[in-house]
């Protein structure tokens, strides 16, 4: 077979696996078994033939000289980065033996699988995060690090996460890009936003930071962090006050609009101006624009919800979109996520009905706490990490490190690289990249399925997530056929089981996906514009401004605004800055932040400070500063800029700790407190102090 392929060039269709709404369709050119080019599919209506800055050099990642190619066993103290090479047989044997002993002594609940967004594939992440672990009866993972609050809020309010096709933005007359930075995080939506602007739409970006996206806005509003709920309720106040709401629409299609009208009485413009820092005349103007420049679209993503009050913030945005009857209109309403169009059969993914019940669920945002005592009876005795890098990406990293340093914890990490997390493992296993594996993808930012075919053989001894699950299942003596299928068979089983219940799959076939790599979901005139039939998958069938269901999570049934507890509890004595840590342009969280070219382009780990805040602390541009709070600290280079307002600091997520001065990154400071809804992470509700690392002569160090 290898001979046959010699001197032959093949083009293999695939999908970008990263945590990004765009899920690009890609084509890999393979010659003599080696990938020689990697490009966006020119025929795909969303990818349009180009890839972002971070994934364009994907072959640098695949053929990175530091790829892990063989299983390794720890040969020194935990975290010492001393390893011995072992065979796959030894590795699997050792893991199975340790796990059997843990299960005998403590039960399988003492084993915690931890995976998240290294790939978003249905097989390599979806099934791989479920089947083996369900069979085993391992602890479940509450995957609340990214989108839990918005998902819960949107489902409670609108019934499902549906989003328009990006081309529908061309019908919008006003686009509010709210707490979202698509120029970096969903670049393929940007040409549609630009075209809408050329068509005359007004683009308003609402973000405390002047982001890349804000630079091309017609208006950039910089609210104080975590005050967006108050802003949305204040806009709604004005719309009701000035009778710009659509009462007939509200009466026919919602429940709770009168209660909402009462609630927003508490948010008059003067108060909202005080809370948000946005002048009341600007708020008045925006409210009038929103009500009169219809259709008006609110485009948000996941970053906005990462505050202590994230759930209510999203509920408030949804209420604003509803109050003028924008939901269900072409070019109007909300543009968040398309991920609920396809419901993969949960049973086909996880085979739970054939498994013991999940004994307990650990919130992934509390990993450090869980490893250091919060999870007891049984304690977590083994941690298995794949497709995630919690030491660098999850909140309160210092506590996670304390946890993974536990002598009695058996940690296995399956990775492409020796990440900050892999460093603390007892056993490290080499993982394939997307070119070396098969998968099926359901994008959250466009309305096509994407198939990824294996383009090249695994490098070294790398193994895909799913193949590893099969090996482990076998070693543990689990003989269910659904633990031994090939990746293609897993995808086919799930696809076939899901198709009958998913109208959007009506015209989609696997054959088509194998042939074209992409398949548009099936929409018709009644479903093309989300929610246009005005029936909502909520308990009442209406858009629930008042949600009884959401009270189950301890939330007020109506949208509301309260500042995050962090801002009140902070011990910074008034000297604190609110540190936002959004997406880097050249990484996806910590993925790619070990590719030298991309690291160079992103720049050294840094923190943006407003000139006033910098001056007050004696900090100049380029100084090394310590960013600190009661959870921990890290060392960053100060960038003095009015891209951030006074009181706010900004540092991107994603830099690896091992490449950062002091070997810590920004997540040593972020909070593992949970938000108001669905156990959501609260990375941005982070009060820190910032001081010069080496005070200049004659200058007192900041206490």
Question: Are 40 and 24 in contact, with CB atoms under 8 Å apart?
Answer: yes
* Span near ligand SF4 by CB under 6 A; candidates 50-58, 60-68, 84-92, 621-629: 50-58
Q: Which two tokens stand for residue 594?
A: 């070990």
User: Does 419 engage in binding with ligand MGD (CB under 6 A)?
Assistant: yes
Distance CA 231, CA 175 (A): 16
Residues 179, 147: Cα–Cα separation, whole Å:
13
**What per-residue string of b and e applies to 140-156 under the rule 16 or more CB within 10 Å gives b?**
bbbbbbbbbbbbbbbbb
Interface of this chain with Mo ion, residues 446 to 465, rule: CB under 5 A: none
Is the Cβ of residue 223 or residue 311 nearer to ligand MGD in the bound state? 223
CA dist list (Å): 90 to 13, 70, 81, 100, 154? 35, 12, 20, 15, 47
Stretch that binds ligand MGD, among 162-170, 205-213, 354-362, 529-537 (CB under 6 A): 205-213
Per CB under 6 A, does 143 bind ligand SF4?
no
- Least distance from C-beta 527 to ligand MGD, angstroms? 26
Strands 111-115 and 382-386: parallel
Residue 187 interacts with ligand SF4 (CB under 6 A): yes or no? yes
**Is 423:79 a contact under the CB 8 Å cutoff?**
yes
Q: Of 172, 319, 323, give the one whose Cα is nearest residue 249.
A: 323
Q: Which of residues 566-625 bind ligand SF4 (CB under 6 A)?
A: 588
684 makes contact with ligand MGD (CB under 6 A): yes
E strand segments, 16-63: 25-31, 34-40
Size of site (CB under 6 A) for ligand MGD: 62
20 binds ligand SF4 (CB under 6 A): yes
Q: Is 336 in the site for ligand MGD (CB under 6 A)?
A: no
- What is the per-residue binding string for Mo ion in 141-180, x denoting contact by CB under 5 A? -----x----------------------------------
Give CA–CA dist 511/41, Å, rounded.
Answer: 18
**Residue span 385-404 as binding mask against ligand MGD, x where in contact by CB under 6 A, dash where not:** -xxxxx--x-----------
Q: Using CB under 6 A, which of the segments 94-102, 371-379, 547-555, 578-586 binds ligand MGD?
A: 578-586
Applying CB under 6 A, the span of 165-173, 343-351, 408-416, 622-630 interacting with ligand MGD comes to 408-416
Q: Is residue 307 near ligand MGD by the rule CB under 6 A?
A: yes
52 touching ligand SF4, by CB under 6 A:
yes
Among 391, 400, 398, 306, which Cα is nearest to 630's? 398
Burial grade of 481 (CB within 10 A; 0-12, 13-18, 19 or more): exposed
Distances, alpha carbon 662 to alpha carbons 162, 596, 649, in Å: 43, 19, 20
Q: Which residue in 211, 365, 595, 610 binds ligand MGD (CB under 6 A)?
A: 211
Choose the one of Mo ion, ligand MGD, ligand SF4, none that binds residue 439, judging by a C-beta under 5 to 8 angstroms depending on kind.
none
Quick check: 414 binds ligand MGD (CB under 6 A)?
Answer: yes
Among 151, 254, 416, 518, interactor with ligand MGD by CB under 6 A: 416
* Block residue for tokens 């909502």: 536
Name the minimum Å distance from CB 443 to ligand SF4: 8
Question: Which token pair is 628?
Answer: 């600190």
Q: CB-based contacts of 441: which residues, under 8 Å, 6+ apart?
A: 15, 17, 23, 120, 121, 122, 449, 450, 451, 452
**Of 205 and 304, which CB lies nearer to Mo ion in the complex structure?**
304
Name the strands in the sheet holding 448-452, side by side, starting at the edge strand that comes first in the sequence. Answer: 439-441, 448-452, 518-520
Which entry of ligand MGD, Mo ion, ligand SF4, none binds 41, CB below 5 to 8 A by partner kind? none
Span of 17-25, 292-300, 301-309, 499-507 interacting with ligand SF4 by CB under 6 A = 17-25
Contact between 55 and ligand SF4 by CB under 6 A: the answer reads yes
Alpha helical stretches, state H, 226-366:
228-241, 247-253, 257-264, 269-276, 280-292, 310-323, 346-350
Size of the site for ligand SF4 (CB under 6 A): 13
Candidates 84-92, 139-147, 239-247, 336-344: pick the segment binding Mo ion (CB under 5 A): 139-147
The span from the CA of 623 to the CA of 371, in Å, is 36
Structural element, H or E, at residue 501: none
Q: Pick the closer one to ligand MGD by CB: 207 or 340.
A: 207
**Cross-strand partners of 637:** 606, 624
225 makes contact, choosing from Mo ion, ligand MGD, ligand SF4, none, with CB < 5 to 8 Å by partner type, with: ligand MGD
Residues 239 and 320: their CA atoms lie apart, in Å, by 9
Close Cβ partners of 351 (under 8 Å, ≥ 6 residues apart): 130, 131, 134, 135, 480, 482
**Of the two residues 155 and 188, which places its CB atom closer to ligand MGD in the complex?**
188
Q: Is 666 in the site for ligand SF4 (CB under 6 A)?
A: no
In the list 28, 47, 117, 547, the residue contacting ligand MGD (rule: CB under 6 A) is 117
The footprint of ligand SF4 (CB under 6 A) covers 16, 18, 20, 22-24, 51-52, 54-55, 187-188, 588
The footprint of ligand MGD (CB under 6 A) covers 19-20, 54, 116-119, 124, 145-146, 178-181, 184-185, 206-209, 211, 223, 225-226, 228, 301-304, 306-307, 386-390, 393, 414-417, 419, 431, 465, 580-585, 587-591, 653-654, 666-667, 670, 683-684
The footprint of Mo ion (CB under 5 A) covers 146
């Amino acid at each position: 077979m290898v001979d046959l392929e010699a001197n032959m060039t093949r083009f293999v269709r695939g999908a970008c696996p990263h945590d990004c709404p765009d899920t690009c369709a890609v084509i890999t050119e393979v010659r003599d078994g080696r990938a020689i080019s990697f490009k966006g599919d020119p025929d795909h209506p969303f990818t349009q033939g180009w890839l972002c800055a971070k994934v364009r050099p994907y072959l640098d990642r695949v053929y990175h000289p530091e790829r892990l190619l063989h299983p390794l066993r720890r040969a020194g103290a935990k975290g010492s980065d001393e390893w011995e090479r072992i065979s796959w047989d030894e590795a699997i044997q050792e893991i199975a033996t340790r796990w059997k002993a843990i299960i005998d002594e403590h039960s399988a609940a003492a084993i915690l699988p931890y995976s998240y967004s290294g790939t978003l594939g249905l097989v390599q992440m979806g099934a791989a995060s479920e089947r083996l672990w369900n069979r085993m009866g391992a602890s479940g993972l509450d995957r609340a690090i990214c989108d839990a609050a918005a998902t819960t809020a949107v489902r409670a309010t609108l019934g499902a996460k549906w989003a328009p096709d990006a081309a529908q933005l061309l019908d919008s007359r006003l686009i509010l890009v709210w707490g979202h930075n698509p120029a970096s995080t969903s670049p393929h939506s940007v040409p549609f936003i630009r075209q809408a602007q050329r068509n005359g739409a007004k683009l308003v970006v609402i973000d405390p930071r002047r982001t890349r996206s804000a630079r091309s806005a017609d208006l950039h509003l910089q609210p104080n962090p975590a005050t967006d709920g108050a802003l949305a309720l204040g806009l709604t106040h004005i719309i009701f006050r000035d009778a710009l709401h659509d009462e007939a629409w509200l009466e026919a299609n919602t429940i709770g609009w009168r209660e909402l009208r009462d609630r927003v009485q508490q948010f008059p413009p003067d108060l909202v101006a005080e809370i948000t820092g946005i002048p009341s005349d600007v708020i008045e103007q925006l409210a009038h624009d929103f009500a009169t420049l219809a259709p008006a679209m609110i485009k948000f993503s996941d970053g906005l919800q990462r505050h202590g009050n994230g759930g209510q913030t999203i509920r408030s945005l949804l209420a604003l979109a509803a109050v003028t009857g924008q939901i269900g209109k072409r070019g109007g309403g909300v543009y968040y996520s398309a991920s609920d169009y396809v419901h993969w059969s949960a049973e086909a993914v996880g085979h739970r009905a054939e498994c013991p019940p999940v004994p307990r669920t650990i919130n992934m945002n509390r990993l450090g706490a869980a490893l250091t005592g919060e999870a007891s009876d049984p304690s977590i005795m083994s941690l298995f990490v794949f497709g995630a890098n919690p030491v660098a990406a999850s909140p309160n990293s210092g506590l996670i490190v304390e946890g993974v340093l536990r002598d009695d914890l058996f940690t296995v990490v399956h990775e492409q690289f020796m990440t900050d997390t892999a460093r603390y493992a007892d056993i490290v296993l080499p993982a394939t990249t997307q070119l070396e594996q098969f998968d099926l993808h359901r994008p959250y930012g466009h309305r096509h399925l994407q198939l990824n075919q294996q383009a090249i053989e695994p490098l070294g001894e790398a193994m895909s997530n799913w193949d590893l699950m099969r090996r482990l299942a076998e070693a543990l003596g689990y003989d269910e056929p659904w633990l031994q299928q090939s990746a293609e068979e897993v995808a086919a089983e799930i696809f076939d089981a899901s198709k009958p219940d998913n109208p959007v799959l009506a015209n989609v076939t696997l054959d088509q996906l194998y042939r074209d790599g992409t398949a548009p979901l099936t929409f018709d005139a009644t479903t093309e514009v989300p929610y246009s039939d005005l029936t909502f998958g909520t308990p009442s069938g209406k858009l629930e401004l008042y949600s009884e269901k959401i009270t189950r999570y301890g939330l007020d049934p109506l949208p509301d605004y309260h500042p995050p507890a962090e801002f009140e509890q902070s011990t910074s004595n008034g000297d604190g800055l609110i540190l936002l840590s959004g997406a880097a342009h050249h990484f996806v969280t910590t993925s790619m932040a070990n590719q030298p070219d991309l690291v160079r382009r992103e720049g050294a780990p840094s923190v943006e400070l407003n000139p006033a805040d910098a001056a007050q602390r004696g900090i100049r541009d380029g100084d090394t500063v310590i960013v600190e709070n009661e959870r921990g600290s890290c060392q960053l280079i100060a960038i003095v800029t009015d891209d951030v307002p006074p009181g706010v600091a900004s540092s991107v997520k994603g830099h690896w700790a091992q490449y950062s001065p002091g070997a810590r990154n920004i997540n040593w400071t972020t909070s593992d407190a949970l938000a108001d809804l669905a156990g959501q992470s609260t990375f941005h509700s982070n009060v820190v102090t910032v001081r010069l690392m080496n005070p200049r002569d004659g200058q007192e160090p900041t206490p």
